[in-house]
Structure 1
Amino acid sequence: MYYFQIKYVIRWLGVPCFILMLGCAQLQVKDGILSPPHKNYTVNIPGQGWEMIKVGKDDIALWHKQYHAMIAFISSDIENKALSLEMLNSQLFIGMKNKKILLNESMLVDNQEAMHTILICEIDNHTLKIESYVIKFGNKVYDLVYWSPPDLFDYIRKDFENIIKTFKFSNL
């Protein structure tokens, strides 16, 4: 059931992403390290079972079919520089229902302040467990997000933890 719902979302995003992809620069993955153009970061990509999906112009997501899991790397310009990290983190979860926050802490990712959150919520009548890191760096916000059905969440969570450990800003 989760598989079809997630695949529907991927299919829904797929057509516009494909159209955008035609005129965009290629994602740069070399020796398992992703370096999106104009995004100022590098990160190690897990191999086993993960399929890379380009989202938008330069952002990506990783899909794991066996565990119905997805990891997304999303960056965007911050229009209001006065927004706190807590506010940016809250914006990430708008539209999710029955949120139960399991963890919400401040920490460092590549020596930059980040909000680390784990929660369980409902999206389109499906329960998901989500882990995220929201990082404010310069005039951008970076959302690193992992989600899957709660009963499958821990099976490949280590892959997401390794991504966070290897996430590096290239303009430090």
Structure 2
Amino acid sequence: MPHLSVYTSRGGRIFPYARRFEGALVLVLFTLTACASRHIVDGVLVDEARGFRIGVLRDGWRRLDAEGAELAFQAEPGGQVAALFISCEERRPITLRMLAKRLFFGISSKRVVTQTVTSLNGAEAVHTVLTGRLQEADVMVSSYVTRGSECVYDLVYVASPEAFQNRLQEFERFVQGWALTEQGSESR
């Protein structure tokens, strides 16, 4: 299996999403900064400063600290990756569709399978499923891009096309567990 990396651009920074390591997709390790306004209660991560809550994946998912990711997991076995990325620096008014398009920088031969506008617990989101090539390997991606009053939230699932369906339902539950808190939804 070739070396895999997915890149996005948010606020001028480039974040690696996933890379091959000994035959499986693994996120690039990074130390996640903990802060007092961030805590996990009954399997739900609540970040008051960034205005969101989301359930953590368990049972067959290993938590990873990954560059640029607020929360990231790798499926074991299978190597699928699920992650939440947040950018709070964006001050220009950019549509969700444009933000979704920027999410896939670094993937070649992209083919959008579906792209729809949906709601994630009351917040408008763009859901995209696409296929593409990443450094000579085929990948399939499901992503949700949404925003609150101050931040943009990217929920991303990356897998080989053959393994994509295997953990997709678990990723969808992860996405459905995401919600803005009062802090994140103010002046939306």
**TM category, shorter:** 0.7 to 0.9
Is 2:122 the partner of 1:108? no
Deviates more, 1:36-45 or 1:96-105: 36-45
Superposition deviation, residue 170 in structure 1: 1.1
Q: Could you say which residue in structure 2 is the equivalent of 1:157? A: 168
3-state SS of paired residue (1:90): helix
Q: Which runs of 5+ in 2 are unaligned?
A: 5-18
Note the 1:13-24 alignment, pairs <5 A.
13-14=28-29, 17-18=30-31, 21=32, 24=34
Note the 1:1-172 alignment, pairs <5 A.
1=1, 5-7=19-21, 10=26, 13-14=28-29, 17-18=30-31, 21=32, 24-25=34-35, 28-36=39-47, 38-56=49-67, 59-171=70-182, 172=185
Superposition deviation, residue 97 in structure 1: 0.2
CA distance in 2, matches of 1:57, 1:87: 20
Equivalent residue pairs, number: 166
Superposition deviation, residue 145 in structure 1: 0.3
Deviation string, structure 1 residues 92-116 (Cα, Å, up to 9, x no partner): 0112101111110111111111000
CA distance in 2, matches of 1:66, 1:161: 18
Give % identity.
Answer: 21
Superposition deviation, residue 131 in structure 1: 0.1
Superposition deviation, residue 37 in structure 1: 5.5
Q: C-alpha root-mean-square deviation of aligned residues, in Å?
A: 2.4
Superposition deviation, residue 28 in structure 1: 2.6
Superposition deviation, residue 25 in structure 1: 3.2
TM-score by length of 2: 0.78
TM-score by length of 1: 0.85
Q: Which structure has greater helix proportion?
A: 1
CA distance in 1, matches of 2:91, 2:35: 28
* Aligned residues of 2:129 and 2:141 also touching (Cα < 8 A): yes
* Aligned residues of 1:24 and 1:57 also touching (Cα < 8 A): no
* Aligned residues of 2:2 and 2:135 also touching (Cα < 8 A): no
* Aligned residues of 2:71 and 2:84 also touching (Cα < 8 A): yes
Q: Could you say which residue in structure 1 is the equivalent of 2:8? A: none
Deviates more, 1:98-107 or 1:54-63: 54-63
- The aligned amino acid for 1:86 is R
* Aligned residues of 2:144 and 2:154 also touching (Cα < 8 A): yes
CA distance in 1, matches of 2:20, 2:145: 22
